[in-house]
């Protein structure tokens, strides 16, 4: 309290640097790291004495990472509130008002709007790192033999790219956009657990740095799946992967609980389940998956960590364990996880199509049941990743059926999209272009998935570049396209400035064309027999691989176009955005820009149907809409 009251602006620089902020966090994180490293080298028991031979001490690295994260969070001030409560001080939600200006964005802040923007920049940065890794991979594949990165470093690049994207981007939509707009959409003043909301973000940032640090510990050879027993043989970089995914899993679980609690308990009066915006429904479905699937990942990785440090043998077949156990556990998490990446995309497309086609969402209940259906079914399909493994081979007809059944609820999303554009008045603004891009990409992704769900066909496509092309169509073509749709759509509200629309269109067309030019040939390359994660491939596939690499570089350039637009619009041009540039009727557009700290002076009462577009009525969805000051 006293610190908050101190006149900061006039105090000397040094005084201002001391306190609970990012600098303290980094310093305490470094101290924690070295403390853990030192502690790890003091521990010597029979089970760990092989470190003399291996030249690596996994216990030390796990302790170092663990204490670094604790130090980092302490430095940010995450312990202040629990400690002050334990000391008997009164409860307070004042944290979000304390800091001022830009400092809120680089410190622990519990305002959901600040956290949303923190997520956008933080995840955007790691998306860029993952993208650079992809570029480095494609540089290597210009030639059929290893020429730039040696084989081990190539595998590390593949693992870093895959893990960064599959881990970090699980919160790609929920982090920036759900955190920002869900409270606004449901008429709430904040998230249910604002401190946990902030915690999910800072955990993810720590995780990203830890994964990137894998290169300093020899990297890891397993790709993002971390299969055993290869993971057990690997260098210490594997520990970076384990800690990264464990932190991501923790963050996902907390994020899911927070979203569910918020939507369940903080909706404005009149907003029944039948009036929940479809994007919020997608967040609910995704959060349920987060809560149910991510803990499995954390548990599994704990078992891997025990195998690597205390020499347990959960996954070693020669000592009573089973690599199948790892494959099962990983995909029990892993398959719901890919829908954690996909469902928010469904939500964004169905949320935006009505705005830009000027029509109500067509088949609202069908759309909801589609998302919930996908979420439910996603727990019953995981062994299609193991069709060739020999595990439970006689159950394959069941998994074939369940996998193909999941195309039914996915198809609902397509039908609703088709119904929504029917006799609409489609405006081709940039967000709409990205939504239509999603329609095409995800459709191709879905169709190619049928080949993978069918065992006879999967015999060739499994584990090949075909699979790789398939999930890039669904995740990059699905999630990343809707990620950009969401940026172009919501940034005017989030940042208060308009992005340049012309550059946005250049970005879209460059990205759409180069994306398809990159990944469509990969179906062919896979069908011609190139397995995933290879540093060397047959010479007759060189032309196609070069085509893909060049297209991938253009795809990279399209990201530079976006970055240029982002920096130009936000830093230099700063054209104030209209409070409701898309003429949306959704609640988040009815509040002023910038959004007041507490969102609504009076909580709105929802009295009308959702999506009141169309010729007959143009009434807004909520009354009274006397919001703002």
Minimum CB distance to other proteins smaller for 3 or for 567: 567
Residue among 144 and 295 whose Cβ is closer to other proteins = 144
Q: Whose Cβ is closer to other proteins: residue 104's or residue 385's?
A: 385
**Residue (100 or 616) nearer to other proteins, CB:** 616
d(CA 522, CA 488): 29
Minimum distance from residue 291 beta carbon to other proteins (Å): 28
- State the nearest-atom distance from the C-beta of 357 to other proteins, in Å: 6
**R_g over Cα of the chain:** 25
Rounded to a whole number of angstroms, the minimum distance from the CB of residue 168 to other proteins is 17
The least distance separating other proteins from the CB of residue 204, rounded to whole angstroms, comes to 20
- In angstroms, the Cα distances linking 579 to 490, 593, 594, 603, 606 are 11, 5, 8, 19, 20
The minimum distance between CB 334 and other proteins, in angstroms, equals: 15
Q: Which is nearer to other proteins, 437 or 604 (CB)?
A: 437
Beta bridge partners of 622: 606
C-beta of 481: minimal distance to other proteins in Å?
15
Give the residue with the Cβ less far from other proteins, 8 or 505: 505
Task: Kindly tell me which of 265 and 394 has the beta carbon lying closer to other proteins.
Answer: 394
> Residues of 113-142 as b/e, b for ≥16 C-beta within 10 angstroms?
bbbbbbbbebbbebbebbbbbbbbbbbbbe
Q: Cα dihedral angle (306, 309, 315, 321), rounded to 10 degrees? A: -90
Nearer to other proteins, 176 or 449 (CB): 449
Q: How far is the CB of 271 from other proteins (least distance, A)?
A: 18
Nearer to other proteins (CB atom), residue 362 or residue 483: 362
At residue 510, φ and ψ (nearest 5 deg) are: -60, -45
DSSP code string of 146-167 = --SS-HHHHHHHHHHHHHIIII
Find the shortest distance in angstroms from Cβ 393 to other proteins.
Answer: 4
> Is the CB of 439 or the CB of 495 nearer to other proteins?
439
> Minimum distance between the CB of residue 170 and other proteins, rounded to whole angstroms?
22
Identify which of residues 264 and 398 has a Cβ nearer to other proteins in the complex: 398
Please name which of 295, 361, 340 lies closest in space to residue 174, comparing C-alpha atoms.
340
Q: Can you tell me the distance from the alpha carbon of 258 to that of 262, in angstroms, rounded to the nearest whole number?
A: 6
For 269, the 3-state DSSP assignment is coil
Per-position DSSP letters for 168-192, written without gaps between them: IGGGTTIIIIIHHHHHHHTT-SS-S
- What contacts 24+ positions apart, CB below 8 Å, involve 310-319? 310/47, 310/48, 311/47, 311/48, 311/50, 315/228, 315/229, 315/231, 315/232, 316/228, 316/229, 316/232, 317/229
Residue 314 sits at the vertex; the CA angle it makes with 312 and 316, to the nearest 5 degrees, is 95
In whole angstroms, the minimum distance from the beta carbon of 28 to other proteins comes to 23
Nearer to other proteins, 168 or 357 (CB): 357
Interhelix angle 364-377/407-421, rounded to 10 degrees, is: 160
Could you tell me the smallest distance in angstroms from the CB atom of residue 463 to other proteins? 4
Report the candidate in 102, 111, 117, 116 with the shortest Cα–Cα distance to residue 566: 117
DSSP-assigned letters across all residues of 546-602: HHHHHHHHHHHHHHHHHHHHHHIIIIII-PBPPSSTT---SGGGTS-SSPPTTS-SS
Distance between CA atoms of residues 170 and 150, nearest Å? 30
Give the nearer residue to other proteins in terms of CB position, either 37 or 600.
Answer: 37
CB of 274 to other proteins, least distance (A): 12
Minimum CB distance to other proteins, residue 26 (Å): 16
Q: Find, among 424, 429, 439, the residue nearest to 498 by Cα.
A: 429
Quick one: tokens of 487? 């940026």
Q: How many CB atoms lie within 10 A of CB 97?
A: 15
Name which of 589, 577, 595, 578 is nearest 621 in CA terms: 589
């Amino acid at each position: 309290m006293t610190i908050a009251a101190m006149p900061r602006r006039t105090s000397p620089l040094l005084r201002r640097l001391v306190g609970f902020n990012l600098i303290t966090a980094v310093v305490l994180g470094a101290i924690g790291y070295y403390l853990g490293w030192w502690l790890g080298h003091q521990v010597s028991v029979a089970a760990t004495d092989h470190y003399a031979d291996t030249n690596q001490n996994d216990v030390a690295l796990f302790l170092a990472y663990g204490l670094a994260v604790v130090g980092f969070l302490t430095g940010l001030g995450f312990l202040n509130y629990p400690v002050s409560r334990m000391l008997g001080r009164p409860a307070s939600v004042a944290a979000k008002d304390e800091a001022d200006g830009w400092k809120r964005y680089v410190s622990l802040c519990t305002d959901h709007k600040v956290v949303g923007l923190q997520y956008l920049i933080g995840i955007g940065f790691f998306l860029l790192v993952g993208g650079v890794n992809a570029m480095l991979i494609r540089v290597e594949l210009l030639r059929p033999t290893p020429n730039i990165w040696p084989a081990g470093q190539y595998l590390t690049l593949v693992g870093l790219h895959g893990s960064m994207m599959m881990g970090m981007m699980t919160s790609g939509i929920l982090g920036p956009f759900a955190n920002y707009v869900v409270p606004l959409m449901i008429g709430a003043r904040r998230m249910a657990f604002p401190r946990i909301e902030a915690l999910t973000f800072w955990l993810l940032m720590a995780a990203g740095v830890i994964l990137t640090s894998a290169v300093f510990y020899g990297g890891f050879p397993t790709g993002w799946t971390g299969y055993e027993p290869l993971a057990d043989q690997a260098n210490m970089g594997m520990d970076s992967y384990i800690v990264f995914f464990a932190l991501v899993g923790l963050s996902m679980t907390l994020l899911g609980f927070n979203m569910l609690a918020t939507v369940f308990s903080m909706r404005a009066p009149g907003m029944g389940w039948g009036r929940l915006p479809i994007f919020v429904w997608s967040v609910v479905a995704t959060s349920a998956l987060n809560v149910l699937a991510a803990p499995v990942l954390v548990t599994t990785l704990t078992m891997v960590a025990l195998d690597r440090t205390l020499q347990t043998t959960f996954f070693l077949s020669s000592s009573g364990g089973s690599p199948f156990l790892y494959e099962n556990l990983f995909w029990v998490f892993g398959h719901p996880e890919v829908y954690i990446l996909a469902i928010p995309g469904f939500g964004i497309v169905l949320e935006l199509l009505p705005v830009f086609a000027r029509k109500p969402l067509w088949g609202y209940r069908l759309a909801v049941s589609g998302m919930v259906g996908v979420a439910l079914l996603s727990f019953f399909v995981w062994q299609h990743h193991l069709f060739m493994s020999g595990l439970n081979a006689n159950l394959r007809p069941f998994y074939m059926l369940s996998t193909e059944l999941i195309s039914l609820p996915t198809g609902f999303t397509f039908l609703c999209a088709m119904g929504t554009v029917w006799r609409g008045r489609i405006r081709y603004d940039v967000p709409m272009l990205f939504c239509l891009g999603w329609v095409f990409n995800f459709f191709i992704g879905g169709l190619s998935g049928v080949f993978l769900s069918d065992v006879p066909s999967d015999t060739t496509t499994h584990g090949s570049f075909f699979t790789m092309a398939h999930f890039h169509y669904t995740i990059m073509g699905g999630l990343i396209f809707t990620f950009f749709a969401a940026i172009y759509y919501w940034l005017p509200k989030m940042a208060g400035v308009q992005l340049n629309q012309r550059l946005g269109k250049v970005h879209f067309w460059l990205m759409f064309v180069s994306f398809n030019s990159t990944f469509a040939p990969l179906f062919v390359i896979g069908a011609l027999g190139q397995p995933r994660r290879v540093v060397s491939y047959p010479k007759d596939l060189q032309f196609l691989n070069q085509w893909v690499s060049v297209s991938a570089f253009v795809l990279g350039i399209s990201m530079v176009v976006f970055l240029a637009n982002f920096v130009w619009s936000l830093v230099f041009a700063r054209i104030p955005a209209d409070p409701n540039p898309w003429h949306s009727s959704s609640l988040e557009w009815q509040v002023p820009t910038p959004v007041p700290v507490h969102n609504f002076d009076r909580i709105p009462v929802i009295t009308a149907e959702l999506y009141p577009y169309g010729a007959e009525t143009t009434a807004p969805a909520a009354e009274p809409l006397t919001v703002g000051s």
